[in-house]
Homo-oligomer: A and B are copies of this chain.
């Protein structure tokens, strides 16, 4: 049953539909009309600005007809039809209050338990079949990472992975970078020993929101890849000590990279970034490029460092970690705003050659949303 009532001043309607009730303001309704004079039928872009809506807009009549809600707006004296399903799906009259550190819609926190069920797709299937692509992208949106197996073994094959959902973001490291290490015990800097899980390039702003790492050679022993859910780590910190969560999310850290001529990348961003309503937005964690903390008041600094240390301990906890070994033609993708990654040490003879590149999560989410929503509906 669908029912609508209009407030005496014409400012608010109350809609009962599909077993739920929600109120809507006249200004919101007029702004979100889908008639062809308000929204371009082709691409859905709004043709009017807020300045085109009278500041005294109100509703002079509300009725139901043919399953549509028909609202007449004053002073323009125009009747516009609304889909009750669309309205209820976009209602803002809710009691729900999410606590600081809540997960974004669709995200699911994970720990080492996910090792039994590492999100994975098959390259050919994901490339050729919409449903396989949708399923692979949905895992990335949900968990912040996924493997891709069965890909080609050739220089630049990682770009084929990016083509599945978006566009490479070139940086000062190039369109791609080589992670090619001849095992050589005299060169300790390249052994990977003691490499803590991290997010990439926190000194970049905006940070690259996707990293792809693609395996081309892997005959050395060890060298497994490891990932940690930064959102799960942040939420565990909050459970253990809400004050420490607040101090890390309430102050900016600093990151810097000046390792090559002509480059001096610097950022000022929190290690735990929240949306204004407290929902987790991003995690930045990288000891190598962490610069001096200068935005934390003197009296707060000891607590900040205690929180930073504990967050690192949580990230280092094997109970948080999922690891896997990639073979040539296999790759993995991380949401670099959420999931930390690391490479375990390796030794012995043999080679290990990976290629990496950056891209952005909006392409992942856009491609996923387009696959989940028939085109026709999207344009309406």
Contact = CB atoms under 8 A, between A and B. Distances in A.
Interface in A254-284: 256-270, 274-277
A312 B50 contact: yes
B171 A259 contact: no
Which of A25, A46, A289, A366 has the most chain B CB atoms inside 10 A of its CB? A366
Contact of A309 (B55, B91, B265): B55
A344 interface: no
A341 B286 CA distance: 36
How many copies of this protein are present in the complex? 2
A59 interface: no
A92 interface: yes
A304 to B, nearest CB: 9
Contact of A92 (B43, B91, B298, B362): B298
A90 interface: yes
B293 A92 contact: yes
B288 A28 contact: no
A270 B281 CA distance: 12
Interface string A169-199: 1111000000000000000000000101000
B362 A296 contact: no
Contacts of A55: 309
Given A92-B301, A294-B90, A312 B51 contact: yes
Given A45-B289, A55-B309, A264 B90 contact: no
A160 interface: no
7 contacts: A45-B288, A46-B289, A94-B297, A94-B298, A205-B362, A258-B378, A266-B366
Given A27-B301, A44-B257, A205-B209, 20 more contacts: A23-B298, A25-B302, A25-B305, A32-B292, A43-B258, A44-B259, A46-B290, A49-B312, A50-B312, A51-B312, A51-B316, A167-B172, A203-B362, A250-B276, A258-B373, A258-B379, A259-B379, A263-B370, A265-B362, A268-B275
